[in-house]
Amino acid sequence: MQELFRLEDVTVGFGSHEVLRGFNLTIYDKERVAICGPSGTGKSTLLRCLNLLEHIRDGCIYFRGEKIIEAHAGTAKVLVNENQHRARVGIVFQQYNLWPNKTIIDNITEGPIYVAGVTRKAAVARAKELCAMVDVNPFATAQNGHSAPKYPPQLSGGQQQRVALARAVAMDPQVLLLDEITSALDPPLAAEILQYLKKINETFHIPLVLVTHHVEFAKSLASRLIFMKDGRVVVDTPVDEIERFAKNTDFQRYLEPMTADAEQATRG
Amino acid sequence: MRYDWHLGLIWEYREAFIAGLLVTLKLTFVSIVFGTVIGFVLGIALSIKAWFMRPVHLIIHIYNALFGWLPLLVLLVWMYYFLPVLFDVRFSALTVCYVALSLNLSAFIADVVRGAISEIPSTFIEAGKAVGMPSLLILRRIILPDIVRIALPSLVALYINQFKWTTLGSVLGVTELLHTADVIMIQTYRSLEAYTAIAIIYLVVVGIFNLVYLQIQRMEFFKQRA
């Protein structure tokens, strides 16, 4: 299998606090990797490092065999064009991060038009398709019968997160990073997002790296599950072999209180 | 007490009033354009938090103190009378007015812009980075429109004040509206008519400014949804 990301001896941290230390991980193309684990264990940081939104302090990261960043003793050297890298590695955030003052359509077309150089007409057509795919109507029908563009604050949290997904997909990324995208939503809405993610996955086959607290969510979407604790990988397994690790105490203790909640989530 | 109004005088001097108004408007608009451009550049520069910007920030703070803290009248007089003495450079009264008004306004706009930028959530910028937007594109497409949205009321207040500050040009003998009234008064001894006429002109123009502002405020672009 072709390699997508490779992390070698990566150390990340803020101030004197090191979140990850000497961390190694390889993620392959076509994989759907779910990273689970308790809060503060460096999952989100890891994801942000893959997108170069944060820089590592030590070690190096490869993308498709090409070294993108290299760091020694706190000084990082980015070896690719950061903006080009971010354009090909999509990320969706926990709090959606839509631009509230831009219309839904503009939120989605901003990247394609101004970064990827797609014509406005093509970008808008694509944005409308993606909106239809995630079942968000980007226009509101006013009383006089005219349709007016909608803005993010007019949407529910779940709808906003779906627009954020559409915005990331609109850039045709080579991989999609999902940073706890269901954590700000209640279980039924989280389950809804899952359905749309599956739909996107079936249509575009974009490799996924998702960070989540919901193990059930991870299990139903991912092909590989990584459980992290204190900056280390405790469990790394194909999702269908997850039972083999049922005896791992750290993993188990994390699973148990979540299961009831998560089952509810998938049931909706 | 009854005052014997000579309103015909205003009509008689209509061309002078119009000429004065034109000078006032020119001073206002030219200084607004320069003051806004300089102010935006300074305000954005002040918002860039990087170690290499420290010396630049210091220079901007000194600039703001010099042109923002000094009363405009002091600045005008100083530039007009003392620059020639100290540095042997001499500008016309009109040029000094353009420059002093622009610099003074730019100092205030720099602060307004810096304040507006600090109100823009960092997530907006991160969302731009996430789709691969370079810094300048983020500035142009995300930060600038939001600065204008957030700062519009403060900017309009500054612009209306700018219109009124042009009266200080009269001190240097620039024949803007107030100085026009001065001249008419000296020629006719009819101060009440002359000053009433310009008072009405100032009121009407500020009224028009406010009407335009109300219209602009209603534009879709200026609705804040954050």
Residue A238 burial (CB count, 10 A): 12
CB spacing of A99 vs B224 below 8 angstroms: no
Among 3.40.50.300, 3.30.360.10, 2.40.30.170, 1.10.40.30, what is the CATH number of A3-267?
3.40.50.300
pLDDT in tens, B106-124: 999 999 999 999 999 999 9
Spatial separation of the C-alpha atoms in residues B223 and A240, rounded to whole Å: 51
A&B contacts, CB < 8 Å: 66
Length of chain A: 268
Residue A185 burial (CB count, 10 A): 20
CB spacing of A114 vs B126 below 8 angstroms: no
The b-or-e profile of A145-181 (16+ CB within 10 A means b, else e) is eeeeebbbeebeebbbbbbbbbbbbbbbbebbbbbbb
Residue of A101, A146, A161, A167 to mutate for B, most B C-beta atoms under 10 A: A101
Q: Which residue has the tokens 């803007």?
A: B176
pLDDT cut 70: percent of chain B above it? 99
Residue of chain B whose alpha carbon sits nearest to that of A93 = B127
Low-confidence ranges of chain A (pLDDT < 70): 255-268
Q: Which residue has the tokens 């949804």?
A: B225
Is the distance from CB of B59 to CB of B46 less than 8 angstroms? no
Is the distance from CB of A32 to CB of A224 less than 8 angstroms? yes
Residue A204 burial (CB count, 10 A): 12
Spatial separation of the C-alpha atoms in residues A258 and A216, rounded to whole Å: 8
Tokens of B19: 């000429």
Amino acid A140: pLDDT: 87
Distance from CA of B204 to the nearest CA of A (A): 34
Spatial separation of the C-alpha atoms in residues A139 and A168, rounded to whole Å: 20
Q: How many CA atoms lie within 13 A of A220 on its CB side?
A: 18
165-184 of B, contacting A, C-beta below 8 A: none
3-state helix, strand, coil in chain B (%, to 5): 85, 0, 15
- CB within 8 Å of B180: residues ≥ 6 apart: B16, B17, B19, B20, B198
**Comparing C-alpha atoms, which of B105, B97, B67 is closest to residue B59?**
B67
Is the distance from CB of A227 to CB of A212 less than 8 angstroms? no
Distance from CA of B133 to the nearest CA of A (A): 6
Distance from CA of B147 to the nearest CA of A (A): 12
Amino acid A268: pLDDT: 45
Strand, helix or coil for residue A216? helix
- pTM for this structure? 0.86
Amino acid A256: pLDDT: 60
CB spacing of A110 vs B129 below 8 angstroms: no
In order of their start, the domains of chain B are 8-219 (1.10.3720.10)
Interface predicted TM-score (ipTM)? 0.86
**Which of B124, B134, B224 lies nearest to residue A99, judging by beta carbons?**
B124
Distance from CA of B53 to the nearest CA of A (A): 20
- CB within 8 Å of B103: residues ≥ 6 apart: B35, B38, B67, B75
98-137 of B, contacting A, C-beta below 8 A: 123-124, 126-134, 137
Amino acid A210: pLDDT: 92
CB spacing of B142 vs A90 below 8 angstroms: no
Distance from CA of B199 to the nearest CA of A (A): 40
**Chain A contact for B55 (CB, 8 A cutoff):** no
Residues from chain B that touch A110, judged by Cβ atoms under 8 A, are 128, 131, 133, 141
Residues from chain A that touch B224, judged by Cβ atoms under 8 A, are 101
Is the distance from CB of B198 to CB of B183 less than 8 angstroms? no
Amino acid B188: pLDDT: 86
CB spacing of A111 vs B126 below 8 angstroms: no
pLDDT in tens, B68-108: 999 999 999 999 999 888 888 888 999 999 999 999 999 99
Amino acid B126: pLDDT: 94
Q: C-alpha angle with apex B220: B215 to B225, nearest 5 degrees?
A: 120
